[in-house]
Amino acid sequence: MALVDWALTCDFAYFDATGRLCVIGADANGLRTVVSGTHRLTLVAHLVEYRDDPLDPVLALRSPEGEWRLAQEGTDYTRERQGSAVLFHLSRIQLIELGTYRFELALGAAAPTMLELPVVVREHRGQRVHLHAAY
């Protein structure tokens, strides 16, 4: 049974032409801070004790209010795997409520590996625009 050794959230991750993992914009302190809205992000999970068995991942998102929502593969996320790395691409994820969202990832049913990756949502601040005119 595969176990998640470590995981992170990032802007984007992909496998290059030779199957090597590339990670762009991994979050500091393992914590992603975003403004309230719709976001795209990628979860990278590194596996140990894996074989080529199917992973059967269950990805869930808990809102700051404590509500759980299961992410559906195909609609909420797409998945890629090369060897010990698994990528979960969340192309349009709504992080609206202020506070801390938590992802939890479980692999398989027998001995699930729970994983928490917090995302902090902060209030959107409008841009200040200063107009300067020449007289």
Partner 1 sequence: MPRIEWMLACELAYFDRHARVCMVGVTTQLLLPSLPLSMRQLMIVARLVDRAPGQPLDVGFAIATPDGRWVGPSNEDEIHIEVASEYILITVRDLPFKQEGMYRFGLRVDPSQFVSLDIPVLVMSSSSPLECH
Kindly list the residues in this chain that would bind partner 1 in the complex (CB under 8 A): 5-6, 10-11, 16, 18, 20-30, 46, 83-85
Q: How far apart are CA 44 and CA 128, in angstroms?
A: 35
Q: Which tokens sit at 55?
A: 């992973």
- Shortest spacing between CB 73 and partner 1, in angstroms: 24
Q: Do the beta carbons of residue 44 and residue 10 sit within 8 Å?
A: yes
Shortest approach of partner 1 to residue 102 CB, angstroms?
Answer: 18
Residue nearer to partner 1 on the CB measure, 85 or 93: 85
Q: Which is nearer to partner 1, 63 or 84 (CB)?
A: 84
- Whose Cβ is closer to partner 1: residue 30's or residue 37's? 30
The least CB distance from residue 66 to partner 1, in Å, is 26
Round to whole Å and give the CA distance between 117 and 103: 5
**What distance in Å separates the CA atoms of residue 47 and residue 86, rounded to the nearest whole number?**
8
